[in-house]
Amino acid sequence: MKPAERARELFRRHFGTDPVAVASAPGRVNLVGEHVDNFGGHVLPMATGWRTAVAVGPGHAAFRAISEQQGPIQADWPAAPQGHWSDYVAGVASLDSPLTSPWSEGLCAAVASDVPTGAGLSSSAALEVATGFALSAWAGRSIDPAARADLAWRTETGFVGMPCGRMDQIASARATPGEAMLLDCRTLGIESVPVRLDVVIAESGESHALRDSSYADRRRDCDNALAIIRGQLPGIEYLTDIPPARLNEVAGRLPAPLDRRVKHVVNENQRTLLAAQALAAGDVRAFGLLVGQSHNSLRDNYECSTPRLDAIVSAARAVAGVRGARLVGAGWGGSVLVVCDSGAGADVAARLRADATLALPLVSVVEAGGGAALETD
Ligand code: GLA
């Protein structure tokens, strides 16, 4: 059964009534442009076919939520953040017209998902965005995907407290099937690029307990670097304003490790622009080289890789039909993205699954899916 049917069923079983609305939203794979969305850079995500569905209805003065995987929870309404999976649902509902909406009196929600969690594939953005779409339908409002992405991002940063950029929520809300989006995180402008290569995702199964704190540490490094650079170079609003031709000079005046962080951000942004051109031109080889360089920089400059991710990347690069591999998402565990010649993905995935030394829990060929949608009966 699809997540939407499962969420509807779960709602009926647990709450004893039909949901008022059901919506679903996908996880994402970022092809290239990692750790630049907070710094005015460009990213190139596509949606996955894996989706999360949320069914919603009235809650009678309480917040009651149930997830297929995590079980039920009950809390007072309006709900405060609890460091729990249900914060993503409660946060969207609390930030969205808390006093005038139908859910101001309470909320019931049932969640079913195929998006792997903790795998760098944006399971939290999928949950936030799906919740926002379902609530809009319940309130009888028209759904503006850009506004829903913004609400999901404000939930993640303001309610959950993760200082993330805007990529994941925009990809989940606004993706189009068969295409990646070149997203300018400064203007939020989007250009679509058809995905004419095969994408394989190898989940490392590695736990990422330090991801949130390390993510915030790196972001602080970059903010500190920006403050120093602004004192030296006029007209720099974001790190990605540093002209690539002056990068070595600017980085050379920064203390370590800030110099490495800045090198990553500026070069990764350039790589993303080049990669989008290569993808549009169908040049999988050039695209794969940029993906490989991205991993090397994430490992050496942004320092968000792990020995296991590095080992998976090296093994993947040696498989016939592979053009490039890198960690995907925030890093510190999660998954490896493997870029393959068009048509080669299934064989590459089979090779990686059969590699006993890697012992990968899950290897999948991923098609570029569509963004969030309402789910009718
Ligand atoms: C996480 C964040 C995104 C982005 C990536 C790294 O997925 O949610 O905003 O910063 O890490 O590119």
How do residues 309-352 score in pLDDT, each as one tens digit?
999 999 999 999 999 999 999 999 999 999 999 999 999 999 99
Element (H, E) at 50: strand 45-58
pLDDT at 103: 95
Measured between alpha carbons, how far is residue 265 from residues 231, 305, 329, 331, 339 in Å? 19, 15, 14, 15, 22
Measured between alpha carbons, how far is residue 356 from residues 179, 206, 335, 350, 360 in Å? 33, 16, 17, 12, 8
Q: Which of 338, 330, 336, 294 is nearest to 205 (CA)?
A: 336
pLDDT at 209 over 70: no
Q: Which residue has the higher pLDDT, 201 or 79?
A: 201
Q: Quote the CA–CA distance of 27 and 237 in Å, as a whole number.
A: 30
pLDDT at 296: 98
Query: If you average pLDDT over every residue of the chain, what do you get?
Result: 96
> Is the minimum distance from the CB of 174 to ligand 1 under 6 angstroms?
no
CA dihedral 320, 44, 206, 163 (to 10 degrees): 170
Q: Which of 234, 275, 232, 279 is nearest to 253 (CA)?
A: 232
pLDDT at 56 over 80: yes
Count Cβ atoms below 10 Å from residue 71 Cβ, excluding itself.
9
pLDDT at 139: 95
Say which residues have a Cβ less than 8 Å from residue 205's Cβ, sequence separation at least 6: 360, 361, 362
Strand ranges across the sheet with 362-366: 322-328, 335-340, 198-203, 362-366
Q: Are 244 and 266 in contact (CB under 8 A)?
A: yes
pLDDT at 212: 82
Report DSSP state, residue 103.
G
Residue nearest to atom 2 of ligand 1 (CA): 164
Q: Return the structure tokens found at 92.
A: 């969207």
Average pLDDT estimate for 297-305? 98
CA–centroid distance, 301 to ligand 1, in Å, is 16
pLDDT at 146 over 70: yes
Average pLDDT estimate for 20-33? 98
* Percentage of the chain exceeding pLDDT 90: 95
CA–centroid distance, 225 to ligand 1, in Å, is 19
Question: Which of 30, 44, 160, 164, when mutated, tests ligand 1's pocket best, judged by the most ligand atoms within 8 Å of its CB?
Answer: 164
Average pLDDT estimate for 184-210? 93
Average pLDDT estimate for 20-46? 98
Backbone phi, then psi, for 149, in 5-degree steps?
Answer: -65, -40
Average pLDDT estimate for 203-209? 85
Q: Quote the CA–CA distance of 161 and 339 in Å, as a whole number.
A: 33
Q: Tell me, what amino acid is at 58?
A: P
Average pLDDT estimate for 13-21? 98
Count Cβ atoms below 10 Å from residue 114 Cβ, excluding itself.
19
pLDDT at 210: 67
Active-site residue, 310 included: no
> Is the minimum distance from the CB of 128 to ligand 1 under 6 angstroms?
no
Confidence label for 97 from pLDDT (cuts 50, 70 and 90)? confident
| Closest ligand 1 atom number to CA of residue 36 | 12
Catalytic residue among 87, 114, 168, 198: 168
Say which residues have a Cβ less than 8 Å from residue 151's Cβ, sequence separation at least 6: 92, 95, 96, 128, 132
pLDDT at 262 over 70: yes
pLDDT at 377 over 90: no
Q: Which of 32, 45, 44, 46 is nearest to 264 (CA)?
A: 32
| Closest ligand 1 atom number to CA of residue 38 | 10
CA–centroid distance, 44 to ligand 1, in Å, is 12
Burial class (CB in 10 A: 0-12, 13-18, 19+), 373: middle
